[in-house]
Amino acid sequence: MAVVVVESPAKAKTINKYLGSDYTVLASYGHVRDLPPKDGSVDTDHEFAMLWEVAADSRKHVKAIADALKTDDTLILATDPDREGEAISWHLQEALASSLKKGKTVRRVTFNAITKAAVLEAMAKPRDIDARLVEAYLARRALDYLVGFNLSPVLWRKLPGAKSAGRVQSVCLRLIVEREMEIEAFRAREYWSVKAQLVTPRGAEFEARLTVLGGKKLDRYDISTAEAAELAVQAVISRDLTVQSVEAKPATRNPSAPFMTSTLQQEASRKFGMGAKACMSAAQRLYEAGHITYMRTDGIDMAPEAVMAARDEIKRRFGADYVPDSPRMYKNKAKNAQEAHECIRPTEMAASPDGLRLEADQRKLYELIWKRTLASQMSAARLERTTVDVGSADGQVTLRATGQVVMFDGFLAIYEEGRDDEGEDDGRLPQIMQGEPAKKQGVTPEQHFTQPPPRYTEATLVKRMEELGIGRPSTYASVLTTIQDREYVRKDKNRLFPEDKGRLVTAFLTNYFKRYVEYDFTADLEAELDDVSAGDRNYKEVLARFWRDFSAAIAETADLRIGEVLTTIDDFLAPHLYPPRADGSDPRVCPVCHAGRLHLKTSRGGGAFIGCGNYPECRYTRPISVAGDEEAAGERVLGEDPDGVPVWLKTGRFGPYVQKGEATEEVPKPPRASLPKGWSPADMDLEKALRLLNLPRPIGPHPDDGVLVEAGIGRFGPYVKHGSKYANLPEVDEVFEIGMNRAVEVLASKVVRGQRAAAEPLKVLGDHPDGGVMSVMAGRYGPYVKWEKVFATLPKEMEPESVTFEDALVLVNEKALKGGKKKAAPKRAATAKKPAAKKTAAKKPAAKKAPARKTAKTEE
């Protein structure tokens, strides 16, 4: 017998079905070793020797494999077919060294799809662990450790409030910040176009755009004002128009290549708004279930047998006309393409989405992959593009109409790629004959303004990183997740916005570690790592060259003072922090005292804000994200309350607020109230301020028990309160208007909602082997699995919708054993290991090391 090791229990279960009882298939649950998050884990003085440690939550998995090897002589490492999978196999071999001394055999197998044929074929062709891929992994891991472990402390000391910096993460953040600065620096330019609705002699209508005026071809900005546009309109109206030319040209559109990791993430984002992390999670499950080939790849070629299967399926579904004469071949254009993998494709071309039982996200993603794969081997679409010029006899005016007709749909019959920049598709034109008149039905001018570059979506950011050669396909999802988790970037309506913290980190790195956030430097380093995996470079030489310059850059920051750093960042971010004011005054002059100048400052608790240099005489402050009109509103008196006390509008480091009176020795903290979300400082008046300052507002005694019911605005928004019970209100304005009937209704519905949320599961998974239903529930502190009186919290990376019966069984069994409440089902006890790893990392005090370890892996 042989022991086969894979990464996950789901993968182990699928492979075990194919191999049968002659093999013991176990899961390593990912990486079993990592660098301890402490100084010296990479010894730069001794050829970058690396100190590895078996993670606490991995020891039991390693022991389970070692125990199996006591009776089995062969260890088969069947981890994923990429650099990371090779590294996991190497770590397992090293960690199991003591169990492999007595004549045991270690072999490595890889398969690109978890199908019976692919697995059995791989088992028949075992090999040794690929030392070159392992060295490429070691180089990458060491680089990420050296950057993260040495650069992050510099950030913590010199830039209060910053969390950490990673090798690829910092470059990705720079892309987002620089795009935002482009948007802020953008100044719109006005221009006009003129369109005419024309009619043929047969009564058919079509639209044409003015392209020649005064005998001169128009450029985009030639009509720059409303007056010029009106003159152009009159020039068209005053002339008779005739069709001068009709030109029809054939055209073809070829299908896109099949998916690789980055293009799958891009298309899932465009079509479904699916983030990179969610996309890869769904793809992982499809792969482990045997539905698709390996999903971390930058290869776009397809196995010959898969190509033929696709052509057969196309012919069966659409007919012979949709199959090209010869198979289509695709070549990767990415700068750092090096993984010799297939594209992402279905394992069975005939397996349409309708014939598979899949969860919602997996179904959408599988259908996308299936359609794209078939389309990539289909005939081109044939089009006819028509251009019609309509003009005046004197040549002073010409208008152009364009149209497009699909003569044969080809691959468009099944799939069309999404676009980041949606343009106007040319519609079909009516029959138009050269020399015939074109009657005017209406001529209209249209005003336009140039638009700033769009903010990145996850799709366009992945595309840009790929173009620059930054990062690897397998790292994009973790890099994007990391910069959002650290609150450097936020995602709003699928667009990525840099947070103030992210701007500060980018400004610091750009000024003090410029080389290491340059796009070319990062891409060149990726190329060197690829050379290591190809056997063309020595990984220790790559590390030595990098560390020599990087350590010198770190040393240069030792004597930096925080004040000096803030001054540098203040100047770097000046266009964002101090935009031009509407009145043309100096944007750095304090809007309150008009004497001090505004500067970037840090607070005791970390974070940054803008404050007046005339402190303590002037205490004006504002967040660094507040500028322009909001800042110009400044600090002002809104009026006096009925007792004659002045009511102020002020701006603090946490945003604008209203205050009654001034701070004195007798009243060091006068009444204050922050402006609710959506309230603009420019619109504030005395009435609004007094309404805020008088909150919470008493509504009256509750009709059931006489306890006071109040309305107010709290940390989580507007609410009504009855004793210790709170219920949220949908709108801020309702706080000032709500009566008792409405308040009682809101409070009652909150109780009902709370009961229903506790009673209605998000997902019913089935009966536990020991009896009792297992369900996924929504809890106050996150989703969990419920089984009778056992409640097991879901790991952070596990989405409620993706929880399977096996996942739930593992979670509740482990929780039951830990709490001593029930016995785990005998059949499943061996699988109840996965959550222990995750729970330990989340709950035990020692788990504080886990984030650093995880960060180091995905820091990039």
Catalytic residues: 294
Name the residue among 722, 715, 657, 731 with its Cα closest to residue 688: 657
103 burial type by CB count under 10 A (0-12 exposed, 13-18 middle, 19+ buried) = exposed
560 burial type by CB count under 10 A (0-12 exposed, 13-18 middle, 19+ buried) = middle
In terms of phi and psi (left: phi > 0; alpha: psi -120 to 50; beta: otherwise), the region of 778 is beta
Q: Are strands 708-714 and 717-722 parallel, antiparallel or unpaired?
A: antiparallel
341 three-class SS: coil
From the centroid of its chain, how far is CA 844? 29
Position 481, amino acid: T
Name the residue among 346, 380, 350 with its Cα closest to residue 264: 346
Query: Hey, what long-range contacts does 352-357 have (CB within 8 A, 24 or more apart)?
Result: 356/291
Position 93, amino acid: Q
Q: Where are the alpha helices (DSSP H) in 124-214?
A: 131-158, 167-185
Strands ordered across the beta sheet of 672-674: 636-640, 646-652, 655-660, 672-674
352 burial type by CB count under 10 A (0-12 exposed, 13-18 middle, 19+ buried) = middle
218 contacts: CB under 8 Å, gap ≥ 6: 210, 211, 212
Instruction: Give the Cα separation of 455 and 137 in Å (integer).
Output: 33
CB atoms under 10 Å from CB of 425, counted, come to: 7
102 burial type by CB count under 10 A (0-12 exposed, 13-18 middle, 19+ buried) = exposed
Q: Is-contact 335 525, C-beta < 8 A?
A: no
As a residue count, the chain comes to 860
Instruction: Give the Cα separation of 23 and 15 in Å (integer).
Output: 10
Return the structure tokens found at 764. Answer: 């019913």
Q: Are strands 2-6 and 74-77 parallel, antiparallel or unpaired?
A: parallel
Return the structure tokens found at 424. Answer: 């106007």
Name the residue among 63, 62, 74 with its Cα closest to residue 24: 74
Q: Taking CA 532 as the corner, what is the angle to CA 481 and CA 298, rounded to the nearest 5 degrees?
A: 45
Instruction: Give the Cα separation of 688 and 681 in Å (integer).
Output: 11
Q: Is-contact 208 387, C-beta < 8 A?
A: no
φ, ψ for residue 639, nearest 5 deg: 150, -165
User: How distant, in Å, are the alpha carbons of 456, 465, 682 from that of 519?
Assistant: 17, 9, 41
DSSP letter at 326 equals S
Concatenated DSSP letters for 52-94? -EE-GGGHHHHHHHHHHHTT-SEEEE---SSHHHHHHHHHHHH
Name the residue among 797, 800, 839, 795 with its Cα closest to residue 816: 839
Q: Is-contact 599 610, C-beta < 8 A?
A: yes
605 contacts: CB under 8 Å, gap ≥ 6: none
195 three-class SS: strand
